[in-house]
Structure 1
Amino acid sequence: MNDVYLEEANADAQALLDLYNTTDYNQHTIPAFFEQIMVPAPDFMGVDYMQPPPDLTAWMPEVDWLGQVDIFGNDFTPVIDQMLEAQVSHDVALPSETQPPNVTDTSHEKIDSNSAKRRHAVFKQSPWFWVPERNQHAFSEHENITLDERNVDLASSPHMPYSSNVVIPDRLSTGARDRIFQLVSKTARSQITIPSFPSADCVDKLIKVGIAKRTETDAWIHPYTFESETARPEYLTALVAAGCVCFGIPSVSRTGLALQEIVRVALNNLSENDNSVIRDLEYLQASMLWLDIGAFCGYRRKMEIAESSLQPLVTALRRAGRLDYVRYPAVAPSAEDGEEELHAKWKQWVEQESYKRLAYHLFEHDIHMTMVKHRPPLITYAELTLALPASKALWLASSAEIWRTRYLEMDISSNPPSLRAILKDEAAILCLHLDIDVQIARSSYLHGIAAQIWEHAQQSVLLHESSDPSSQLWARSRQQKLYQRLQREDFLLSRSPAVTCVLHQFLQMFLHVNLDLITRFAGKCGESAANSAYTHLSPWSQTKEARIAICHAGQVVRAARHIPPYQIRGPDSFMLYHAIMVLWTYSMMVRDRAKKTGTTTPMLAQPSSPPSKIVYLDDAASYNQSDIDSFILMNSGTPCLHIISTHQSVVSESGAPKRPEICNLKYPSQVMKVGVRLLDATHPDVDRETGPPLMRALCGLMEELGGLR
């Protein structure tokens, strides 16, 4: 009887789908796609068919981002001395695995009849993408902004701007500060009123924050040869902007974004007046700084401009030969070098290493944009034949003498490997010399694999069921090979930074799901595209591929919880968002299939059947690997996630252990709750409205999608 019911239900569902896809059928007699999928019992007569679905751009500001505020306002200048000296520790608390789960039952959620109206109202005021308006320009949102230091009040940042203990010896002079002020006033012209400007000490500290922040990851700006007295003002201003956006104080961050805009315009003017600067290291570094700031700042206009402006920097480095090994002749100190000769060699070596680190940083930035923005890469891994950067011990030597001592003590390789070399030979990544920066090597290797995964995804799009068997076999073999290359213990949380682990798990997820279909199903490209995506994702959700994808999506969530506070605000936030969207889509397919088959109907419930075992997708693999394997291979168990904040206490106010809240993937709204709770917790003690705009946009979108019934 049950089998007959299932067959009839499937036949009815297929008939409805065929009817929807029939070209000569009057589509206005069928409810909107989102109402069919997301509302159990739609009102066929009350549907707004042109209603667009939620999209990230709906929560991203466009122009009116600065408002009528003082760019160096009353809380701009923080007590930076205290912040540079303070050491803040953050403990990540996770609930005990022995505590009984508190599974939230949302089976009786009420349908919100006003959700369609709210979504429609949001989209009437927000375009799908940024649409440039007439007379809109770089400073159109900065009019009537004053830079008056008399209103500057030193205030502490809610968090440490950086965790590096690097001490930068340079000190900004009043003359260098004046050159920055002249650049700002000249670039902004009469469009911004500047009655005063921060003192040299304040600007100096912001510059040092901007440099020190870079040393936390790939350290592509050398702190010990930095000389503000001879540096380009555009470069100095870019460093000030980079320092501003690290503080977590809204007015200071807004100042950084305004200075980023000034740097962008100033660099463009500089290259127009003097073409030779596009080969200058400081010009290229300043360009990379403003691109880093703008690419994930959360403001649509700035993000699109940053994305479209990456090509000139790539071209400049490529045409200068800085992606090729031939531009990097060997520079080695000797024990016989005099002081002058040694210092000259050190400076030459630092300049070469700066170009190397900039090139690899640019490559990783490009791959981030490729994976999270779904666009082709601008740099290929095959063209990066320049050697991997030298070890941090050499790079962060604070003087020429220390550099020589460390250099002579090391066994320096005569032919250091490049990214192309370690991708070509799998064993090369396992036996790196001590004179290579291992962190950059592993990160570059992972991004090189990411580029190959992107290529595989694009080639797979051209395959279909009627493709020749050899092509299908090749695609499957290539997928397995790439997946195998990602099975490395080097990228476990115990051995790599959490940000690297997020990318590592994201790539394994990416290999088993079409993210373009996921975003289309969520409504980014409209209702018709969402309907088409649904026809592909519904059968996908029942495959082993889907179960592998959501398992790695759960591990993205787990790795993101280990990122230190205030540090999720770049591509990692987009990776987390995409992981949540994969889990949410899977959940939507499961719920839709349950409605069609009637498995949620009380009459069909089987009380005698034992409860399915809970499989936590965001637990460490060592805890439940056998359960995960059973779920992937045999679809046994109930996939779930923990709903916790990054720094949530596991003890209640009464002192009793808390029962962790559990997200069952049967309930899509709970999946979105996992993502929102995690992103909100990345900035503890910071109100969402005053937090990073990108976090605000992502949380807003997930809450809106999670609210659909």
Structure 2
Amino acid sequence: MATAVAETNMFQCGVCKRHYKRLDHLARHVRSHTQTRPHKCHVCSKAFTRTDLLKRHLTSHEPRNGEPPRPNPGNPDQVAPVRVSQACRACASNHLRCSEAKPCTRCVEKKIDCVWSTPDDGASEDDEGDTSMQGDSLPPEGSEGATLVEVDPSLSIMESSPGQAAQYAPMSVDPETVFSASTASDMFAAPPPVLHDPVSLPGLDGEYFFSDFPDLRLLSGPWAAAGPLDLGLESATELDDMDLRFLDTYNTSVPFEYRGYHVDSTTAGVPRPPADDPAGGDVESASSNDIRAEAYRDFQWRFVPSIHDHGGAEEHNLSLPEAANDKTSPESRISLDRRMTSAPLEVATRDRILTLVVKSCRPGNLSRAVSSFPSVELLDSLLQYFLASPFARSDAFLHAPTFDPNKKRPELVAAMAAAGAVLTCDPALTKLGHAIQESVRTAIPSMWEQDNTMVRDLELSQGFLIALEIALWSGYSRKVEIAESFLQPLLTMLRRDNKFKRTRYTEIPPDPSLQGHQLDEAWQQWVTMESWKRLAFKLVQHDTNSSMGLVVNPLVSYAEVQLPLPVSSQLWCAPTAHHWKETYLARAGFQRLTLIDYLDDPEVIGSPNVEVDASLARQIFLSCAWSLAWEHIQMSSFQRARPRRWNSMVMTTRREELTKLLTHFRISMDTPSSAADTELLIRLELILLHLHTPFDDLQTFAGMDGPAQARAVVPAVIEWARGETARRAVWHAGQIVRATRMLPVGAIRGFTAIMVYHASVAFWVFALAAEKPDARRQWGGNGSGGSGTGQDVWLDEPDGLALQRFIQLGGGRPCIHGGGMAGEEAVHLSRPDQVMEAVLATLRANFDGGPRPLLVEKLIQLMAGLQRSSRTPGAS
């Protein structure tokens, strides 16, 4: 019987060994052992273990039948105190009034022992609903890696940092850290001005959408908001015993393949993340208000630092146990034709990387880092994996034909190895990669400080940008904030060195007579110049991804990007100096383009006499288009707040011009033939989605900033959902889902996963607004909600007459295909829970049951929480 309970209820109390299905119920139970009362009354300062007890107590302070409010027992000037928070045993057994101060007055007068609390007594208050907890929802019982979590009440919040819980599933949880909350003044600022008052919208009931939100003002304590994309799955960054055993085998065997780009069976024993299928448990037993509040309460774009957050918090991950019997190595199992570089990593280079790590380590971690740092074979395997991975696309800014890791700076090689470790999606290797990334991030600025000439070093700049990219999509709030802020120094260095100006890049045509050493020198000079150019474009693209993903202002202006576009891949990837010279001379008469030329005519990129890398040029085009769109989005937000600030015709005309530019770009593109081309289409559709969507309002409406702010934007969201722009937005969201289904297995990661999330939010908010009966009647019959009768309009299929009728007239029933692939099942937008499930199925199907990156796992948890909180017809 105990085994059956453990299989279904994975959270266990460390004192009484009781099992629970939900972490919040376990934390509430643990407070019965610790006698912790986090919920305090703002009138009399009494504390309670549960919010419902606090709410019941607050009613005692309310006036009744015109009588004055009940007195405050903490005020000595007031008499007739209300019920005390806890009576002593003697008073309780005799049904007599006890006093708040202990020992109580009656026991002192009677000269008897005043007993008011024992560890066993405290369970009565909290365990009232324990029987119902056993049936609450959790991940499906049969999910892989279902880990039994045991809580020790003696644990202290000061023992570990917020970022050091077990990866994917915590192995021990401190009850004090589970439900800590900030004050109400920190959570809810004054609501922004809105265009309409709810009263002005007939039939609009704000409580329809937000009656399920709990009163978060009742929460007390320091609510440390999780950082960007932190969805309650903050993972540990230190290696546990299981991780060390895995990494021990990685020192002597290859845990992944270069051509298949997947983790093989060596990772089969790694604990899987918690199952996210909302249909696997009894969802009805958990109220939708708890689910919705929990989903977005953890999804904050802010990092709240503590004294335990520092650069050395991940140094434990640098240590690996020495291999006992190292008879084989990964290098011996990889043929040279499967390597991206012919030169293997040497021991001397590994020692230079170790020296870099040691300099950034704190004294307490030096011995472990030195004695058990990853082997040279493992580092070389990670380096090759990064260079070969189609998801990293390192060849876009790193010149593989001339790349020799033993001649490069250790900071660059370490950053590349860290990126390769993170790309494997293996929990132990991912921790190792993030730890090395932290060392690189601190080592490179130190070199810049020690020698200012290093700010013009190409390899240091490349390594620093790789480290920032790892952190930005890591899923850790601290790393995301650091990556966002530390991009500015690198951008300033390139900007002050005129790396975005055309005059900085002069053509170096090779002399036809060049041979031997002189030809190699000319080739190296050209590679260095082109590498700087591609690094500048890589930085612009990184800045754009950060702006779109975090919904913040881009740092690079489209007007300052004046450098020539990168040359074609045929010239850039020439394997030898001789081959480079022949290709260069054969294409000497080809036209060199700039970004301005491309913006003037998007079709020029397809001309046969143009010397340009078409794929990179399209990415830069969309980066520029996002900057232009961001200007319009910001002006539109001002226009909504003050309608008379600008002429609405100006705003509409500007949006139409941008839409026309992006449509022209789409027409100029060929049919996607690679994952890179498909991601370009997704990026294009996301820009168009944001052009037609007040995305900040949508996230606020969904609950990101709390119930108060959500109610404030209800009129604006309803007005948006009524219009044509909303219907265009959900069509672009459907095109994002359609293109996502064409990506290869494992390709939805990083910024691509963020784009899918943005599409799901647009779907979900539109569907939730369309679900309100009054709104459907106001929108008319077969309005945009799609609840009436009419023809099905597929939003995730190519454009057609029915689709245009829906966009312009609101006719038909908008729907998308259900399931991970484009099946025949129609999921109508009138069912927000089913729409979100369809998008979730697309995300899950892309990994085909394999391990998922932490960021993707967190997004799935967030979207599943929104899905569970969605109202369905007939729900109360």
Residue of structure 2 equivalent to 1:483: 659
Question: By how many angstroms is 1:49 displaced?
Answer: 6.3
Question: By how many angstroms is 1:37 displaced?
Answer: 0.8
Q: 1:641 aligns with which of 816, 819, 830?
A: 816
Residue of structure 2 equivalent to 1:271: 448
Residue of structure 1 equivalent to 2:93: none
8 A contact 2:229–2:475 mirrored in 1: no
Change beyond 3 A, Cα 1:390–1:19: closer
Aligned-residue CA RMSD in angstroms? 3.8
Residue of structure 2 equivalent to 1:83: 257
User: Secondary structure of the equivalent of 2:657?
Assistant: helix
The whole-number CA distance in structure 1 between the counterparts of 2:611 and 2:854 is: 40
Residue of structure 1 equivalent to 2:513: 336
8 A contact 2:315–2:361 mirrored in 1: no
The whole-number CA distance in structure 1 between the counterparts of 2:649 and 2:696 is: 23
Change beyond 3 A, Cα 1:120–1:504: closer
8 A contact 2:415–2:466 mirrored in 1: yes
Q: Does 1:447 align with 2:620?
A: no
8 A contact 2:232–2:298 mirrored in 1: no
Q: 1:571 aligns with which of 731, 740, 751?
A: 751
8 A contact 2:228–2:476 mirrored in 1: no
8 A contact 2:258–2:388 mirrored in 1: no
Q: Which amino acid aligns with 1:563?
A: L
In structure 1, the gaps of 5 or more residues are 1-13, 22-29, 89-105, 649-658
Q: Mean Cα displacement is larger for which, 193-202 or 473-482? A: 193-202
Q: Does 1:280 align with 2:453?
A: no
Show CA shifts across 1:55-90 (max 9, x none). Answer: 9745154463435355672353485497135588xx
Using the size of structure 1 for normalisation, the TM-score is 0.81
Q: Does 1:64 align with 2:232?
A: no
Residue of structure 1 equivalent to 2:834: 670
Change beyond 3 A, Cα 1:60–1:211: farther
Q: 1:392 aligns with which of 552, 562, 569?
A: 569
Residue of structure 1 equivalent to 2:530: 353
User: Secondary structure of the equivalent of 1:278?
Assistant: helix
Q: Which amino acid aligns with 1:459?
A: M
In structure 2, the gaps of 5 or more residues are 1-194, 263-278, 872-876
Residue of structure 2 equivalent to 1:204: 380
The whole-number CA distance in structure 1 between the counterparts of 2:585 and 2:285 is: 71
8 A contact 1:54–1:523 mirrored in 2: no
Change beyond 3 A, Cα 1:153–1:593: farther
Q: Which amino acid aligns with 1:169?
A: S
User: Secondary structure of the equivalent of 1:640?
Assistant: strand
The whole-number CA distance in structure 1 between the counterparts of 2:661 and 2:845 is: 33
Show CA shifts across 1:217-270 (max 9, x none). Answer: 762100111122221111111111111112232211221111111111111222
The whole-number CA distance in structure 1 between the counterparts of 2:668 and 2:387 is: 28
- How many aligned positions are there? 635
Change beyond 3 A, Cα 1:411–1:230: closer
Question: By how many angstroms is 1:695 displaced?
Answer: 1.0
Residue of structure 2 equivalent to 1:402: 579
Q: Which amino acid aligns with 1:406?
A: T
The whole-number CA distance in structure 1 between the counterparts of 2:832 and 2:296 is: 22
The equivalences for 1:222-371 within 5 A come to: 222-371=399-548
8 A contact 1:210–1:243 mirrored in 2: yes
8 A contact 2:239–2:317 mirrored in 1: no
Q: Mean Cα displacement is larger for which, 556-565 or 481-490? A: 481-490
Change beyond 3 A, Cα 1:260–1:611: same
Question: By how many angstroms is 1:412 displaced?
Answer: 3.8
Change beyond 3 A, Cα 1:587–1:185: same
Q: Does 1:544 align with 2:711?
A: no
- Name the larger-Rg structure: 2
Question: By how many angstroms is 1:283 displaced?
Answer: 0.4
Q: 2:692 aligns with which of 483, 508, 512?
A: 512
The whole-number CA distance in structure 2 between the counterparts of 1:75 and 1:19 is: 67
Q: Which amino acid aligns with 1:134?
A: I
User: Secondary structure of the equivalent of 2:647?
Assistant: helix
Q: Does 1:74 align with 2:248?
A: yes
8 A contact 1:493–1:559 mirrored in 2: no
Q: Does 1:18 align with 2:18?
A: no
Change beyond 3 A, Cα 1:538–1:19: closer
Question: By how many angstroms is 1:216 displaced?
Answer: 3.5
The whole-number CA distance in structure 1 between the counterparts of 2:702 and 2:296 is: 14
The whole-number CA distance in structure 2 between the counterparts of 1:285 and 1:275 is: 17
User: Secondary structure of the equivalent of 1:252?
Assistant: helix
Residue of structure 1 equivalent to 2:706: 526
8 A contact 1:56–1:701 mirrored in 2: no
User: Secondary structure of the equivalent of 2:358?
Assistant: helix
Change beyond 3 A, Cα 1:447–1:144: closer
The whole-number CA distance in structure 2 between the counterparts of 1:56 and 1:282 is: 29
8 A contact 1:73–1:149 mirrored in 2: no
Question: By how many angstroms is 1:448 displaced?
Answer: 1.1
Change beyond 3 A, Cα 1:427–1:228: closer
Q: Does 1:628 align with 2:808?
A: no
Question: By how many angstroms is 1:450 displaced?
Answer: 1.3
Show CA shifts across 1:339-359 (max 9, x none). Answer: 121111100000011111111
Change beyond 3 A, Cα 1:176–1:619: same
Show CA shifts across 1:8-27 (max 9, x none). Answer: xxxxxx99933999xxxxxx
The whole-number CA distance in structure 1 between the counterparts of 2:723 and 2:297 is: 38
Q: Mean Cα displacement is larger for which, 225-234 or 337-346? A: 225-234
Q: Which amino acid aligns with 1:513?
A: T
Question: By how many angstroms is 1:315 displaced?
Answer: 0.6
Identity of aligned residues (%): 29
Greater relative CO (CA pairs within 8 A, separation 6+): 1
Q: Mean Cα displacement is larger for which, 582-591 or 128-137? A: 128-137
Change beyond 3 A, Cα 1:155–1:297: farther
8 A contact 1:78–1:154 mirrored in 2: yes
Question: By how many angstroms is 1:662 displaced?
Answer: 2.7
The whole-number CA distance in structure 2 between the counterparts of 1:274 and 1:235 is: 17
8 A contact 2:566–2:616 mirrored in 1: yes
The whole-number CA distance in structure 1 between the counterparts of 2:209 and 2:240 is: 44
The whole-number CA distance in structure 2 between the counterparts of 1:262 and 1:439 is: 33
8 A contact 2:231–2:859 mirrored in 1: yes
Change beyond 3 A, Cα 1:55–1:302: closer
Residue of structure 2 equivalent to 1:97: none
The whole-number CA distance in structure 2 between the counterparts of 1:424 and 1:469 is: 30
Q: 2:742 aligns with which of 530, 540, 562?
A: 562
Show CA shifts across 1:426-464 (max 9, x none). Answer: 554453744211111122112211110111111222225
8 A contact 1:385–1:421 mirrored in 2: no
The equivalences for 1:398-477 within 5 A come to: 398-413=575-590, 416-426=592-602, 428-431=604-607, 433-464=609-640, 467=643, 471-477=647-653
The whole-number CA distance in structure 2 between the counterparts of 1:152 and 1:17 is: 72
